[in-house]
Structure 1
Amino acid sequence: MLGWPVYVTPQVDQLRHADAVFVLGGSGDAAYTLGLEYALQGYTADVVFSNPNGAEAIWLTDLCSHQRYRFTVSCVEPNPRTTRGEARALERLATAKGWHSVIVLTDAPHITRARYIIQRCFHGDLMMRESETELSPLEWARSFIYQTAGFVRAAVQSGC
C-alpha cells in the first residue's frame, strides 16, 4: 500500500527535552494525556493544548484554566481551526516565549502532514511524536482519504 509509510508508520523523532509540548487538536484523548505524561517525566515545563472546539470542550477548558501541575498547562484556539492554524499559533507562542524546541503530539495518520505544515511556520527543533492510535479499518480508510486531501490543500497553499 502506497500510503503505509506515510499514514500508518510515519517517521517519529527521538524524544528529548524541549521548551514545550504542543498537542494538536483532534488527536483524541490519548494525545492530551501523553502531553501531560511527558511534562511529568521532565521533558518540558510548558504544555500547550490546541483547542479548536473552544468552550465546547469543557474538560479541556477546565484543565487549562486551573493550574494543577508544577508545569504550565495552557490552551490555544487556532485560527483557522486547522493544522495550518495550529502551526501559526505554535509559531506565535514560540516567538513570544523564546522556544527553540517543541514536541508535537498527534495521531499516526496525521504526523507526516502535520510535520509538513508546521515546518513552514516553526523553524526550530521539531520532534513529532505519535499518540496512541486505535482505528478501525473504516477509520483508517477515512484517514487515508482525509490526510491525502489535506496534503493536496497544503501543497497549493504558500507560506505559513
Structure 2
Amino acid sequence: MGFLLSKLLPLLLYPLGLGLLLQLLGLAAASKGREQGSRRRRQASLWLSGTGVGLIWLCAMPLSSRQLIWGLEDRAAALTPRQLPRADAVVVLGGGLRPALPPRQGVEVAEGGDRLLRGVQLVRRAPPLLVTSGGRVSFTGHDPAPPEALWARDLAEELGLPADRILINPGSRTTAEEARDIGALGRRRGWTRVLLITSAFHMPRSLATFQRRSGLTVVPVACDYQLPDRAHYGKPTLGNTLKSLLPDAEALYLSTLALKEHLGLAIYRLRGWS
C-alpha cells in the first residue's frame, strides 16, 4: 500500500493533476457561493479556477518546458566525463523498454531505450559486465510482464552481448532501491567503480542517490537527451515564439518529467537517500 500511495499521491502535485484539482475546488466554491449568496466564495472560485487553468497552460508552453528540461539536462551533460574511465560494470537503470507481449513480436524500444543501447555500446568497447536493472512496477492483477531487467537482458543478448557478460537486478522498483541493491551486488563481487547509465533528465537524482546508497564510485553516463543544448537549439523567430507560448501536450509531458525529478530529489533528500 505504501508503494502504491508513493506513486498515486504525487500525481496530484504534477501540473495536470494539480491544475484539475484547483479547478474542481473552484467549482465547489462557486456552488457554495451560490447557495449562500457569498461574494467572497464566488471570488475564491474564480481565483482557484483561474490558477488551475494558468498552471496547466504555463507548464504546457514549450517555452516553459524547455527551461525546465534544460535545467536538468545541462547538469547531466556537465556531470558526464568526456573520457570514461575503466569500470567493473556498466549499470543501465530501468525505463525505456516495452515487454514482448502480444501483439509485439519481441522486446520493443521506447523513448528511454537509449539507456540500454548506450550500455550495450560501452560493454562492446571494453570488458566489463552489463547490469540490467528494473523490477515489476504494475498495479494490474495477473500482469504477465516479467521484471524489466529480464526484458533488457533478452534484448541485450539479441544485440549480440554474450549471456555471461550480463547480470540482472530484477527486484528494484525505484531509483533508491536500485542504488541499494546494485551496491549490495557490487560488494559481493568486489566492485569499486561502475558506469551509471540513465536518461539525462533523471541523472542528477540517480547520481546523488547512488553516491549516497551504493557505496561504489559512480561515473555518470547520461543519454536520452530530450532537447539539443541551448547553444544548438537555434535562434527564435516570430513563428517559433508564438508557438512556444501556446499549450502543447508534449511540452506538458516534458514539464511533468522535469517537475517529477525535482520533487523526487527533494523527497529523497528528506529521507536521506541522496
The residue that corresponds to 2:167 in the other structure is: 74
* Whole-angstrom distance in 2 between the partners of 1:40 and 1:130: 18
Normalising by the residue count of structure 1, what TM-score does the alignment of the two structures yield? Answer: 0.83
The residue that corresponds to 1:23 in the other structure is: 92
The residue that corresponds to 1:110 in the other structure is: 202
Q: 1:4 to 1:113 in 2, by over 3 A?
A: same
The residue that corresponds to 2:192 in the other structure is: 100
* Whole-angstrom distance in 2 between the partners of 1:68 and 1:87: 24
Which stretch of the first structure deviates more once superposed, 95-104 or 64-73? 64-73
Percent of aligned pairs with the same residue? 22
* 1:47 Cα deviation from its structure 2 partner: 0.5
As a proportion of its length, which structure holds more helix?
Answer: 2
* Whole-angstrom distance in 2 between the partners of 1:86 and 1:120: 12
Q: Is the 8 A contact 2:80 2:219 kept in 1?
A: yes
Spell out the pairing of 1:1-160 with structure 2 (5 A cutoff). 6-10=71-75, 11-14=78-81, 15-27=84-96, 28-42=112-126, 44-53=127-136, 55=146, 57=148, 59-60=151-152, 62-63=154-155, 68-69=161-162, 72-79=165-172, 81-134=173-226, 136-158=250-272
Deviations 1:46-104 (Å, cap 9, x if unpaired)? 1001122361546335347899428611221243x110000011111110011100000
Which residue identity is paired with 1:153? I
* Whole-angstrom distance in 2 between the partners of 1:26 and 1:97: 25
Q: Is the 8 A contact 2:69 2:201 kept in 1?
A: no
* Whole-angstrom distance in 2 between the partners of 1:34 and 1:88: 23
* 1:131 Cα deviation from its structure 2 partner: 1.6
Q: 1:90 to 1:4 in 2, by over 3 A?
A: same
3-state SS of paired residue (1:102): strand
Normalising by the residue count of structure 2, what TM-score does the alignment of the two structures yield? Answer: 0.51
Which blocks of at least 5 consecutive residues in structure 2 are unaligned? 1-63, 97-111, 137-144, 228-249
* Whole-angstrom distance in 2 between the partners of 1:49 and 1:83: 13
3-state SS of paired residue (1:9): helix
3-state SS of paired residue (2:79): coil
Which residue identity is paired with 2:91? F
Q: Is the 8 A contact 1:46 1:72 kept in 2?
A: yes
Q: Is the 8 A contact 2:157 2:163 kept in 1?
A: no
Q: Is the 8 A contact 1:104 1:127 kept in 2?
A: yes
Tell which structure's C-alpha radius of gyration is larger: 2
Q: Is the 8 A contact 1:48 1:73 kept in 2?
A: yes
Q: How many residues align?
A: 158
* Whole-angstrom distance in 1 between the partners of 2:224 and 2:157: 26
* 1:132 Cα deviation from its structure 2 partner: 2.3
RMSD over aligned CA atoms reads 2.8
